Structure formats: structure tokens, C-alpha cells
Amino acid sequence: MAFDGLFTHAMTKELNDTLAGGRIMKIHQPYPNEVFLVVRNNRKNYPLLLSAHPMFARAQISQIKYKNPQTAPNFAMMLRKHLEGAQLLRIEQVENDRIMRFVISGRNELGDEDRTVLILEMMGRHSNLFLVDEASQKIIDLIKHVPADQNRVRTLMPGGTYVQPPKQDVLNPYQSLDGLANLILDYREQNELAKHIQSHFQGFARDSAHELAAVVQNDGDAMAHAQSWFDHFNQPNPTLVDTQKGLQYVPFPWQTVTGETTEFTTLSELLDAYYEGKSERDRVQQQAGVVLRVIHNELKKNKTKIKKQQAELAQADHADEYKVKGELLTTYMHQIERGMTEIELPNYYDDNKPMQIQLSNQLSPSQNAQRYFTRYNKLKASVKYLNEQIALAQKEVDYFENLQAQVDIASPKDIEEIRQELIQEGYLRVQSKKKQKAQVSQPEIFYASDGTQIEVGKNNLQNERLSMKTANKSDIWMHTKDIPGSHVIIHSSEPSEQTLTEGAQLAAYFSKARDSANVPVDYLPVRRLRKPNGLKPGFVIFEGQTTMTVTPSYTTVQKLRKKPEA
């Protein structure tokens, strides 16, 4: 579901139960739109994430590791000035909207109480985080400054008075369900009912409106079903669902969201599992700007080159026509006069059908014939060269498509290794003349159901080291068939069928075919791998492989990250 008003209602309760009364010990801003407050409560530190990201806006306790910039942004410095050491009194939701208020009590320079409010508005591209003086409602600072010419409705700059976003004419369902019974009676079709629920009540995203519309149409008392559904947000059962359309999170099992499920203790843990990949993808994209530009340019250049050379190769298919014209001109030389621009001659190679032949009026008859023979010889000689050039360009395309797939599954630290690889291969220049040695991180470790260790490389440098240096010759190597992806090593010479299947699922998941079904995966002992001189990092050749097909599953991958208990 979306982080709508209903989910905000559930998260507000969870954060209040966990954090209210705690002290704000540290404040970090590792990313432009996201702030972490380390809140200590009941002798435990809780990293509170407040995100005003245009796509991933949310509030939660997050255990996902982050790296702070060397110089703190101005907004973080302002928060430290007003909030470090202060007490987080309570967390409030504004009615049933996507707005959360973090009421904080501290002390100013004179020792007097200084009460401020952090206000998080989670509204897509308009999301923002405000630090507001509670007494005067003056905006001390905000994470996104918006000039007046971009927002004429309210002031979104420091020094202005905080005004809530314009309120819609809708009902807070936690205060009143008036009108719901009539909607249920008037609209029997689920989509229509959902549409009117969304426009009548506050805090509904489209998916939550569809779920309530489905719930009230179950057998029994519709209003009782609805009340029970709303109450369930106060006692959630956080669930991650691997659906046919991808991962979805719900505060408790929904009848409109079906698939393989994973349950979590808290909503925050649920969001960590859901957003870890998505938000990390966004952070990778931010860090990988130069790498992605090189990959994009090289792919475009080589694909254009292949297209042009294939067009030249297609012309070479007509080389025999030039030879025939040259021979006809030679045979009927006596019929050609200097100054002619064309002539029609019987083609004795094709039942003497007439063939129109263009001539140059500046050349003699024999020179015209020789011109066609020259074209023929040039085109025939170009075929071998063009095929070689197309093959080389295709290798470049394969290489950069493989890098592109690695960026898609990379973590921020992997991006640096891909950048170092591009420097080593001469595709990317560095300002420093001092040669930098690539720091190769370790492949990720997984565990099969029977405890067998499985390693997965995330970039070419990891793949190279894993497959050609650290793996035993009797280990099993796996890779998606003809699809860019990771090298996977099963550290066993005779893995079980289940272990092979789990290894293949890892190979399919960490590949370009992550979202596909029935992905083919090759596997064979490491000793059959070879790397001839001249191949780029991470590329190997092999023969005698076996192929199996699997459908990658996020849930399975998460389970394989945990070592089974003995």
C-alpha cells in the first residue's frame, strides 16, 4: 500500500509507543531529503528516519546503515542547534492526513524551555520537513526551500509563518463514518465504491480504498466489517507480500493483495525490508551519475556502429550484381559509345532478360566496365572486415549491458568498484596521475536450507576474484544463461537438488532477469571455467554446462540471507 493517512495513523501509534519521552542524542542528514534523529529511550538508541523524499517519503525507525557527509548540511546544523539533547514529548498525526508532528521540548541559551515542532508532510514531490517554533508558528528552517514564485498558496521559506496545506472537504474516518452505509448501498461495483470512499473520507490511497470496498462486500454486517478494519490499524500485523506485480507492504493481511508473505514484528521493520532495495536504488543512481553516463554513451556509440556496419554489410549482398554488370559491359563493349549515360543489355545469367546499366559519360566503355569490377571487389573485401568489426562492437555492447545490469543490483559501495573498473579499462579518466588500486569488497554470503554456503558477486571485480581465485575447483559455478548477472558459487562439490535450485534463484534474482519468470541458469564445476587473455573482467568461457529454469523470489532470497539454525 502507499504511505497514506491510514498507514500514517498506524505508524504514529508505533512511534509514540516506542519513542515518546526519549532524548534526541544525535542528528544526521546523510541524504538531501532525509534526516536521522537518534532517540534514546528506555536505555536504547532508536534511529528515527524522517524522509521528505519525493517518492519514498515516510517516518520510521530504520536500521539501514548510512554514511554521513564530511560536512553537515545547513539544515542538519540548525536541527542540532535546537534539538540535540531535547526531549521528544510526543508524536501526533494531523487528523487522518499524511502529516506528522514531533513535539520537542528543549532549553535555549538562557535556560528557558524552548518548545519546537518537527512537522513532516508526506505528499509526493511536495513532501517537506519543517522545524517550527511552537509558540509563534514561525518556520525556523525547512529541508526544502521553495521560493514564493513556485508556491503562491503559503510561505515555504525560513522566517515565514507555518500554514498547513489546504484542507479537503473530507471526513476523518476515525472521528466519523457518516455516509459510508449509504455509499455501500448506492455502489455495488467495487471500483465505483472504492472511488467514492476515497473522495468521501480522509487518508485513503487508491489501494486502501479498494481493500475497504472489498471488505464491506463480504457476507455479514458491512459496517461492522468496516469498523473492525479501521481498528486493525491500531493493532497491525505488518506483512510484506511478494505479488505478481512485485513487493507490496500492508499493515495486516489484505484480501486484495495476495502472494507469498513475510511477517514482521513492527511497521518499521516492514518498511526497512521494503525500502532497503528501493531507497538504495535511488541512492545508487545519485552516486552512479558518471558511471551511468559512460555506460549510456558507450552503449549508444557501439549500437550505432553496429547498425551502420550492418547496413554496409547489406550492401555487400548486392556485390554480385556489380560483377554481372561489369561482365555484360565487357561482352557487349562494341555497343557502347563514349558519352552514353545508360544502356540496356541482355543478361545471359538470367534468361537474357534486359538489364539497365548506368554509365558515366566521362569514362570510356572499358573504364565503365572496370568501375563495376572495382565496386564488386571492394564490397567483397569489406565483408570480412565488417563482420570482424560488428563482432568487436557486439562484445562492447555485451560488456556495457553487463555493467548496466550490475548497476541495477549494486549497493553504493559497489559503484566505486565499477568506476575503478572503467578507469582500469580506459573508459574513464581520473584527474590524479597517481594510479588508484581498486579496493575489492567481498561477495555477499547466503546459506542454503541445508547450511551450504553460497557466495554472490555483485560486480565484475568481485565476480573475477570469486570465480577465478577464491572458489575451489570442485565448487559449483552458476550464471544466468545469455543474460547479464552475477557469478554465484555454491561451496559444495555435490550440492542437493534443493541447494542447486536455491543457488539458481540467487543467480536469477541478481541478474537483469530479476523480474522475469522461468529464468534459465547454467551451472557446472568451477574447474571447467576458462578465461583467455584479452577478455574483460568478470567474463569467462565454458562448456559442458547443465541448464535449469527458476523463477526468482524476493522472499526466498531474504530467507537465504539467514544462516539456518543447527
pLDDT of residue 298: 92
C-alpha cell at 130: 519543517
How many angstroms separate the CA atoms of 518 and 521, rounded? 9
CA atoms 515, 520, 523, 528: torsion sign: negative
Q: Kindly tell me the burial class for residue 54, based on how many C-beta atoms sit within 10 Å of its own C-beta (0-12, 13-18, 19 or more).
A: middle
How many angstroms separate the CA atoms of 508 and 513, rounded? 6
The string of DSSP codes covering 174-213 is TT--TTHHHHHHH--SHHHHHHHHHHHBTT--HHHHHHHH
C-alpha cell at 142: 525547512
CB contact set of 523 (below 8 Å; sequence gap of 6+): 476, 477, 478, 479, 500, 503, 504, 545, 546, 547, 548
How many angstroms separate the CA atoms of 358 and 361, rounded? 10
- Model-level pTM greater than 0.75? no
Residue range 21-60, pLDDT digits in tens:
999 999 999 988 999 999 999 999 999 999 999 988 999 9
- Virtual torsion, Cα 149, 150, 152, 155, nearest 10 deg: -100
- Virtual torsion, Cα 80, 81, 87, 89, nearest 10 deg: -90
Burial code (b: 16+ CB inside 10 Å, e: under 16) for 394-421 equals eebbebbbbbbbbbebbbeebbbbbbbb
Element (H, E) at 128: strand 128-133
pLDDT of residue 150: 77
pLDDT of residue 58: 95
Q: What is the CA radius of gyration of the chain?
A: 33
Name residue 60's beta-bridge partners.
49
Helix (H, G, I), strand (E, B) or coil at 444: strand
How many angstroms separate the CA atoms of 421 and 438, rounded? 8
Amino acid identity, residue 204? F
Q: How many CB atoms lie within 10 A of CB 472?
A: 13
- What is each CA distance from 131 to 86, 95, 134, 150, 164, in whole angstroms? 14, 20, 9, 20, 13
How many angstroms separate the CA atoms of 428 and 424, rounded? 8
CA atoms 383, 384, 385, 388: torsion sign: positive
Element (H, E) at 515: none
pLDDT of residue 385: 86
How many angstroms separate the CA atoms of 48 and 65, rounded? 12
Name residue 45's beta-bridge partners.
40
Helix (H, G, I), strand (E, B) or coil at 337: coil
pLDDT of residue 285: 66
How many angstroms separate the CA atoms of 192 and 213, rounded? 9
pLDDT of residue 277: 61
Q: Phi and psi (nearest 5°) for 474?
A: -90, -5
- What is each CA distance from 493 to 384, 457, 524, 527, in whole angstroms? 44, 19, 10, 11
How many angstroms separate the CA atoms of 211 and 310, rounded? 54
C-alpha cell at 97: 492526513
Q: Phi and psi (nearest 5°) for 104?
A: -130, 140
C-alpha cell at 286: 545519485
pLDDT in tens, the chain (566 residues): 789 999 999 999 999 999 999 999 999 999 889 999 999 999 999 999 999 999 889 999 999 887 788 889 999 999 999 999 999 999 999 999 999 999 999 887 777 888 999 999 999 999 999 999 999 999 999 999 988 777 677 889 999 999 999 888 999 999 999 999 999 999 989 999 999 999 999 999 999 999 999 999 999 999 999 999 999 999 999 999 988 777 899 999 999 999 988 899 999 999 998 887 666 666 666 667 788 888 899 999 999 999 999 888 887 777 888 889 999 999 999 999 888 999 999 999 988 999 999 999 999 999 999 999 998 888 888 888 888 899 899 989 988 988 888 887 776 667 777 888 888 888 887 655 455 555 557 899 999 999 999 999 988 888 989 999 999 999 999 999 999 899 999 999 999 999 999 999 999 999 989 888 899 999 999 999 998 887 888 889 999 999 999 999 888 898 898 888 76
